[in-house]
Chain A
Amino acid sequence: KQEVTQIPAALSVPEGENLVLNCSFTDSAIYNLQWFRQDPGKGLTSLLLIQSSQREQTSGRLNASLDKSSGRSTLYIAASQPGDSATYLCAVKNDGSYQLTFGKGTKLSVIP
Chain B
Amino acid sequence: DVKVTQSSRYLVKRTGEKVFLECVQDMDHENMFWYRQDPGLGLRLIYFSYDVKMKEKGDIPEGYSVSREKKERFSLILESASTNQTSMYLCASSRTGLNSPLHFGNGTRLTVT
Q: Which residues of A contact B (CB under 8 A)?
A: 31-32, 34, 36, 41-46, 49, 51, 89, 91, 93, 98-100, 102-105
CA distance A44 to B107 in the complex (A): 9
CA distance A50 to B103 in the complex (A): 15
* B101: A residues at CB distance < 8 A: 34, 46, 49
Main secondary structure of the interface of B (DSSP, over half): strand
Q: Which residues of B contact A (CB under 8 A)?
A: 4, 6, 31, 40-43, 45, 48, 50, 56, 58, 90, 92, 98-99, 101-107, 109
Total CB contacts across the A-B interface at under 8 A: 51
Shortest beta-carbon distance from A10 to chain B in Å: 13
Say which residue of B4, B43, B99 sits within 8 Å of A102 (CB atoms).
B43
A93 with B45: CB separation less than 8 A: no
CA distance A49 to B94 in the complex (A): 13
Given contacts A102-B42, A102-B43, is CB(A41)–CB(B107) below 8 Å? yes
* A42: B residues at CB distance < 8 A: 106-107
B106 with A43: CB separation less than 8 A: yes
Of all chain B residues, the one with the shortest Cβ separation from A104 is: B42
B56 with A32: CB separation less than 8 A: no
